[in-house]
Amino acid sequence: MADSSFDVVSQIDFQEVRNAFGQAEREIGTRYDLKRVGAKLELEGEALVLESSDEFTLGQAREVVESKLVKRNVHLKSMRPGKVEPASGGRVRQRITFQQGIPTETCRRLVAEVKKAKLRVQAAIQGDSVRISGKSKDDLQAVITLLRSLDLDVPISFTNYR
């Protein structure tokens, strides 16, 4: 019987991020409390930049963005908000980036958890993903259940199930 395998990855659909950005930009432009203070939202490559007159309204604008991301099925654990920085004119700015791929330390933790479960599978780090392979599909399903139960700092998904 041939080996079965799957990959554990962390990927973001940036089309959904752009869609959520458009929805959030429209809501920020029409909400009275955010329009009055001149809150702005910009998309720079694969990062969002929020700008407002103070930290409170910046937080409100960020909540709007987060609600739109959740509605578009983009996991909030993938967001990496930067520091709130002063901008010109007494305003504040915050840059939000998105985590693509699983960090090396998290990959090591996933491999250690799989080995600790003592199932008949092999786990190998491949760049920013982890490949799990084994003879029994039941063992692979047990690994998927185990990994879903872990509290990780990035959202994980399973691809290339063969």
CATH 3.30.70.860 fits domain 4-11+101-159: yes
Q: Could you give the CA distance from residue 14 to residue 74 in angstroms, rounded to a whole number? A: 9
Amino acid sitting at position 15: Q
pLDDT of 1 reads 44
User: Distance between alpha carbon 127 and the CA centroid of its chain, in Å?
Assistant: 18
| 139 token code pair | 């063992």
Residues carrying CATH 3.30.70.990, the chain: 14-98
pLDDT of 93 reads 92
Could you read off the pLDDT of 34-92 as tens digits, one per residue? 878 888 888 888 889 999 888 888 889 999 999 999 999 888 888 889 999 988 888 89
Overall size of the chain counted in residues? 162
Q: What is the pTM of this model?
A: 0.81
CA-angle at 161, arms to 20 and 18, nearest 5°: 10
Class of domain 14-98: alpha beta
